[in-house]
Chains A and B, each alone.
Chain A
């Protein structure tokens, strides 16, 4: 752990009982009190998450839009100022380099938010591809802290702290404003399936912001929530996590993420040909989500079986504190992706699973 990096909230996390673990080279809180309680509190009140480990890169210059539309699968040209967009960044073979958020700050000026585990790889990838474009890339990961405030009480908590009226802020829109007097990018995005915001803030102001939010939100039931709850919340919501539902081998066709791929945009983009071809021929494997009906978690690596034959592998598994049962996702042979006869092999015994269409419970982060 000694080589692991620390976010600007390291002291705050430790002081508040965060149980620190190594995650993608960062010392991050996996939980404070209890993953289950942090999960429930985020669904019923609000959770505050340190996600400062995420990477940030600015893309500026006259060809920024053209560049991003070439390296990303989604259509950046549809964005106006103040818009956030989820996209994949793919390899020529259609595998995923990373999934990320693009923020359009102004014409010819964008901010990318990257997975911590991929940030170094992404920057190298972007720099290589940028050679033919008139753009300037700057890795600003060290300059930003990032906290996510998620849950039905997120906006009531922000109301007394925000310098700008957030009532009209649409889903996947952002504004510049002050929260508790601290300048932030206030983005109506998140990874929990709840209403909420993600706040980009200067690294040196992140702890002050977190303290202010925590103090203001306690009365409304706000709790600090760690990576454990972040994972169980995102899986309940059916959101993909890099290294699980998507990776260099599992692309958008397999993962059911074709909504993030604009095959219609009037330009070529990396991976287009391979993705199109796989879409037409059909993928060999698909990601499916499932419920177990029991409390035993089928963890990543668990074999999926059908009629005694191995047909796939679990890629995510957790316990849903809301459904009170174990849920997960698996990469299975396309031929059985709609089968009702799937089971997971737990310690040599087959437990039937039930396919589920996420979200696993009614969620409306756009409400």
Chain B
């Protein structure tokens, strides 16, 4: 189970890679993709959409199940990974790289303190 040390995590099994200027890349964790199994569809929001922390912004579907995606912080969507439309399986094969889901602009950086570091997330991701 891969849990890169340089990322932030949520208890909903999403990861954030904090970038400059309050921006962040987001995706789902290796644990999440492994639990879901073969991912067949990722519903991503529109660029420009804004979401509050805790709001559902999309869905990841696998052969077995559909799972909602939740926004961990107040943020605006500034880019989505369009390659997932044709190759959603890259979330399985590369959850932290090719399988990133979207890039966001964080509206309230104070809420970042709620996020988990790799060590804390590891406790949650135990089977």
Q: Are A35 and B41 in contact (CB under 8 A)?
A: no
Complex contacts, B89 vs chain A, CB 8 Å: 36
Give CA–CA (A37, B89) in the complex, Å.
12
Q: Are B38 and A34 in contact (CB under 8 A)?
A: yes
Give CA–CA (A319, B61) in the complex, Å.
10
Nearest CB in chain A: distance from B37 CB, A? 6
Does A218 count as interface, using CB distance less than 8 angstroms? no
Complex contacts, B124 vs chain A, CB 8 Å: none
Q: Which residue of A lies closest to B65 (CB)?
A: A299
Give CA–CA (A36, B88) in the complex, Å.
13
Does B66 count as interface, using CB distance less than 8 angstroms? yes
Query: B32-89: which have CB < 8 Å to A?
Result: 37-38, 40-41, 43, 59, 61, 63-64, 66, 88-89
Q: Are B41 and A295 in contact (CB under 8 A)?
A: yes
Q: Which residue of B lies closest to A34 (CB)?
A: B38
Q: Are B40 and A295 in contact (CB under 8 A)?
A: yes
Binary interface profile of A, 272-298, with partner B (CB < 8 Å = 1, else 0)?
000000000000000000000011110
Binary interface profile of A, 241-283, with partner B (CB < 8 Å = 1, else 0)?
0000000000000000000000000000000000000000000
Nearest CB in chain B: distance from A76 CB, A? 37
Q: Are A36 and B63 in contact (CB under 8 A)?
A: yes
Q: Are B66 and A35 in contact (CB under 8 A)?
A: no
Give CA–CA (A332, B43) in the complex, Å.
28
Q: Are B61 and A297 in contact (CB under 8 A)?
A: yes
Does A69 count as interface, using CB distance less than 8 angstroms? no
Does A25 count as interface, using CB distance less than 8 angstroms? no
Q: Are B66 and A319 in contact (CB under 8 A)?
A: no
Q: Are A36 and B66 in contact (CB under 8 A)?
A: no
Q: Are B64 and A30 in contact (CB under 8 A)?
A: yes
Q: Are B61 and A296 in contact (CB under 8 A)?
A: yes
Q: Are B41 and A36 in contact (CB under 8 A)?
A: no
Give CA–CA (A296, B37) in the complex, Å.
15
Q: Are B61 and A228 in contact (CB under 8 A)?
A: no
Which of the residues A19, A30, A297 comes within 8 Å of B40, measured between beta carbons? A297
Does A31 count as interface, using CB distance less than 8 angstroms? yes
Which of the residues B37, B61, B64, B92 comes within 8 Å of A295, measured between beta carbons? B61
Q: Are A297 and B37 in contact (CB under 8 A)?
A: no
Binary interface profile of A, 310-348, with partner B (CB < 8 Å = 1, else 0)?
000000001100000010000000000000000000010
Complex contacts, B38 vs chain A, CB 8 Å: 34-37, 319
Does A232 count as interface, using CB distance less than 8 angstroms? yes
Nearest CB in chain B: distance from A61 CB, A? 44
Nearest CB in chain A: distance from B101 CB, A? 15
Give CA–CA (A326, B66) in the complex, Å.
13
Q: Are B37 and A228 in contact (CB under 8 A)?
A: yes
Q: Are A31 and B37 in contact (CB under 8 A)?
A: yes
Q: Which residue of A lies closest to B56 (CB)?
A: A347
- 7 tightest A-B contacts by CB? A295-B41, A36-B38, A319-B40, A35-B63, A319-B63, A35-B38, A295-B40
28 example contacts (A-B, Cβ-Cβ < 8 A) are as follows: A19-B37, A30-B64, A34-B37, A35-B37, A35-B63, A35-B64, A36-B38, A36-B40, A36-B63, A37-B38, A228-B37, A228-B64, A232-B63, A294-B41, A295-B40, A295-B41, A295-B61, A295-B88, A296-B41, A296-B43, A296-B61, A297-B41, A297-B63, A297-B66, A318-B63, A319-B38, A319-B63, A347-B59
